[in-house]
Amino acid sequence: MQQGKGADRLAPFFILTAGALWGTMGLFVRRLGSDGAGLSSVEIVQLRCIVAAVLLFVYLFTGKRSELRLRVRDLWCFLGTGLCSIVFFNICYFTTIQMASLSVAAVLLYTAPAFVIVLSALLFGEAITGRKLAALFLTFLGCVCVSGLLRGGGALTPAGFLVGLGAGVGYALYSIFSRYALERGYGSLTISFYTFLIAAAGTVPFVSPANIGRALMQEPSLAFFILLFGMITTVIPYLTYTRGLQGVENGQASIIASVEPVVATLLGILVFHESLHVDETVGIILILGAIAISSR
């Protein structure tokens, strides 16, 4: 699975790039969501998956057709990344937002590194080291600070808590099932393509094609924006994240990718002129410290 020392040194950079690009998602979601084009959260997820699947298929079909090959006995790996991870975690995450505050939902989502570390230890024999635990603690504490949870808005029912943890589990499962696919010889392009093909199909029962069509009819230029959205927040980050897993343990990768809320917070300040609170500053420092520990 390893591809040499050079590849290993670049692996944290690939993971960091993925997390940073995921952090730009808010820029697109605000434009496509209820305050913009009027699309629902799941419809936005489906559009991401469709764009990613189409772009990856065109690229693979025209240049690397051999990477479209899929052994039926390995299909469960991609059902795992597509349905158990992408679809499941998004539905749980958006449900948690409706049952609790956005800050609570974000913190529960970022329990994912803990689940990755535990599952990777059980399934792949990855060691649970003191460094990992320290980085995990800093990551979670940093996400609590960045989310604004310490400033209030933290009401949560037991049902909301369980659904929120479900989002964390689903988020973690991408690393787990991707690792299985990598061990079976599939590359990051193949894994990403089948992940989003299956995820796009899995979101069909939860979307309204008429609503998506209405948005595109009212604003045809939205099609290019959606294409850009799929490329920047889906195709490139999932390719680089999956590629990074070839040289970084699952637990480390999950912690390094936690740069996502840091980028999202900084973009909110720079683009939407949101204020930066003391707790958010502390959270950014804690998360960057955790990433530094995990990248060593």
CB 156 within 8 A of CB 100: yes
pLDDT band at 3 (very low <50, low <70, confident <90, very high): very low
Give the CA distances from residue 230 to residues 41, 165, 227, in Å, rounded to whole numbers and listed in that order.
14, 26, 5
Number of domains observed in the structure of the chain: 1
Note the pLDDT tens digit of each residue in 78-136: 999 999 999 999 899 888 877 876 677 888 888 999 999 999 999 999 999 999 999 99
pTM of the model as a whole: 0.87
Domain hosting residue 87, numbered range = 5-295
What is the pLDDT confidence band of residue 5, given thresholds at 50, 70 and 90?
Answer: very low
Does 42 score more than 50 pLDDT? Answer: yes
More confident residue, 289 or 34: 289
User: What is the distance between the alpha carbons of residues 253 and 156, in angstroms, rounded to a whole number?
Assistant: 29
Residue 42 · residue 90 · CB < 8 Å? yes
Q: Can you give the pLDDT at residue 210?
A: 93
Q: Which two tokens stand for residue 184?
A: 């079976």
Residues comprising the chain, all counted: 296
Give, in order, the Cα–Cα distances in Å from 88 to each of 101, 202, 238, 282. Answer: 19, 9, 17, 31
